[in-house]
Amino acid sequence: MKTLKLENMKRYADTPAIGNNEPGIYHSYMRSLATAINYINGELDPVWLMGSTAFAFRIFVNETMCPSAMSMFSFERILPEALEQAGYNCIYVQRMWDENDKEGIMRREAHTNIVAGINRGVPAIAWDLHEAEWGLIIGFDDEREQYFIFTHDGLESFLPYNKLGRNGIDILSVAIPGNPNLRKREEIIINSLKTAVAHAMGKEWIDDRPEYQDGLAAFDLWASIFEKWAWIIDAGKSDNIGLDIFGFSRYYAGHYYSARCYARDWLNDIAEGNQHLQKAALAYGQVADLLKPLWVYFSNEQKPESQQLKTFAEMIKDAKHLEGEGIELIKQHIKQLKK
């Protein structure tokens, strides 16, 4: 019987971004990954992390702005690769909801790797530790058969061993940083740029279309939600919505405004005089500028007005156009590298 907990875990906060009235790292997987890397290394470049993993370029939208959109992608394809792009080999264990015959085996495998990681001072990034979001496992207690967990919001709690992968959503997903890998900066950059293009074109896996959309198509779906919401208000039926659409709007705005801020900054950092990337950075900066008012508006408790929602819908459409321009510039840069 053994008990071990990683002490002095602190939620990573991008202080410069927050000081600039930007949300900072918002997606719970990326926030957890940032906290883990910062704990391991004692430092972190948030712009490089968000850009190199391509999370600065991703967007997932549900037709009712359900928060589930943020996890509506192939965990197995995207999550380990994000860790690899961040500079670490990844130890990854997964079981999906339709693999109940593997539940016990995969949970034990995950546990073995989690314990090994904790023993070498490395937390595990795990799905659905709290409120259907990613968080960290920072310790274990064999006597009580429970993990010490650290949520993406920085709260400490516990999770019984037998709840791993079964804490409300029947999916097991655990990613653990291994040793630093040997990916070179140039390789990481081109991988991320290619991923940005593929995602924009809808070529990263996403399930349940058309209820969910990603890439450029996601902007259209997002804008249409505000148009429908405005119509409902104009019709005097806003009391019948039955969803926390205001809270969902803040959740979405926080994710995608913050992401495009990082896309802008990362492209600027890697451009090194390249005109295509410099222009792409400008385009993403304009996208961020268009999404910022949504973040500000929905961060304040105020009754939404029909005209404001219509304005937001048009701003999202404009953001799609500018993001499309940015993607075309990135494509031109990639094409230039092949010559």
Same domain membership, residue 115 and residue 32: yes
Q: Which residues, 6+ apart, have CB-to-CB distance to 2 below 8 Å?
A: 140, 142
Same domain membership, residue 93 and residue 149: yes
Dist CA 339 CA 335 (whole Å): 7
> Has residue 286 been placed in a domain?
yes
> Has residue 230 been placed in a domain?
yes
**Tens digit of each residue's pLDDT (9 = 90 or more) over 93-110:** 999 999 989 999 999 999
Same domain membership, residue 117 and residue 235: no
Same domain membership, residue 147 and residue 250: no
Task: Count the alpha carbons within 13 Å of 199 in the hemisphere toward its beta carbon.
Answer: 26
> Has residue 245 been placed in a domain?
yes
Same domain membership, residue 154 and residue 233: no
Q: How many domains does the chain have?
A: 2
Indicate the residue among 180, 196, 219 that finishes a domain.
Answer: 180
Reported as a pLDDT band with limits 50, 70 and 90, residue 207 is low
Same domain membership, residue 139 and residue 9: yes
> Has residue 263 been placed in a domain?
yes
Look at residues 117, 126, 123, 70 and name the one whose alpha carbon lies nearest to residue 93.
126
* Per-position DSSP letters for 41-100, written without gaps between them: HS---HHHHHHHTTTTS--EEETT--GGGGG-S-HHHHHHHHHHHTTEEEEEEEE-TT-G
> Has residue 73 been placed in a domain?
no
Check whether 309 has a pLDDT greater than 90: yes
> Has residue 251 been placed in a domain?
yes
Average pLDDT over residues 294-317: 93
Express as a percent the part of the chain with pLDDT over 90: 90
Same domain membership, residue 267 and residue 212: yes
> Has residue 186 been placed in a domain?
no
Same domain membership, residue 146 and residue 94: yes
**Tens digit of each residue's pLDDT (9 = 90 or more) over 40-90:** 999 999 999 999 999 999 999 999 999 999 999 999 999 999 999 999 999
Residue 238 confidence (pLDDT)? 79
Check whether 322 has a pLDDT greater than 70: yes
Indicate the residue among 180, 195, 224 that finishes a domain.
Answer: 180
Check whether 239 has a pLDDT greater than 80: no
Domain containing residue 255? 208-338
What does pLDDT average to over the chain?
A: 95
Reported as a pLDDT band with limits 50, 70 and 90, residue 276 is very high
Same domain membership, residue 266 and residue 218: yes
> Has residue 59 been placed in a domain?
no
Residue 206 confidence (pLDDT)? 64
Please tell me the pTM assigned to this model: 0.96
